[in-house]
Copies of this chain bind each other. A is one copy, B any other.
């Protein structure tokens, strides 16, 4: 198993922000945030987390790996559904605690609910009080019960 020592420890703020050393800053749970966008549409497909092992495997293989907080385990995207993600580009943010990957989404979608993106509902702005979500691009592109039937 790959631990945090697979990556160099962060140096000074200047080194982290302006340097060329990749020194990811894992949180107290050992995770960085991963934002995943579709390389074609630019849409945000999902937000997930990576531990050091998931990050290393993603870099080494070019296939998106995450750490599932609910299942407490490493997870290769698509290992159950076949809906894998080929990483086209990976970027890191200024303080190196967030990763942005642009991916080619294989199969019908990224969301476990059966949709292309996890962000299929809009939050209307400028309204006080209770907020009612509006479905957008909310059509299911696959049947999650079939896609995940072997898990």
Using a CB–CB cutoff of 8 Å, the interface residues on chain A facing chain B are 7-8, 17-22, 33, 35, 37, 42, 44, 46-47, 58-62, 87, 89-95, 98-100, 111-113, 115, 118-123, 125-128, 130-136
Point out the residues of chain B lying under 8 angstroms from A22, CB to CB: 123, 130-133
Copy total for this chain: 2
Contact B123–A59 (Cβ < 8 Å): yes
Q: In the complex, A9 Cα to B120 Cα: how many Å?
A: 20
- What's the nearest-Cβ distance from chain B to residue A9, in Å? 12
- What's the nearest-Cβ distance from chain B to residue A16, in Å? 10
Contact A123–B91 (Cβ < 8 Å): yes
* A113 and B94 in contact, given A22-B131, A130-B8 (Cβ under 8 angstroms): yes
Contact A90–B122 (Cβ < 8 Å): yes
Q: In the complex, A93 Cα to B118 Cα: how many Å?
A: 5
Residue of B nearest to A135 (CB): B20
Point out the residues of chain B lying under 8 angstroms from A8, CB to CB: 130
Point out the residues of chain B lying under 8 angstroms from A126, CB to CB: 59-62
Point out the residues of chain B lying under 8 angstroms from A119, CB to CB: 91-93, 100
* A47 and B93 in contact, given A99-B123, A126-B60, A132-B22 (Cβ under 8 angstroms): yes
Q: In the complex, A15 Cα to B58 Cα: how many Å?
A: 33
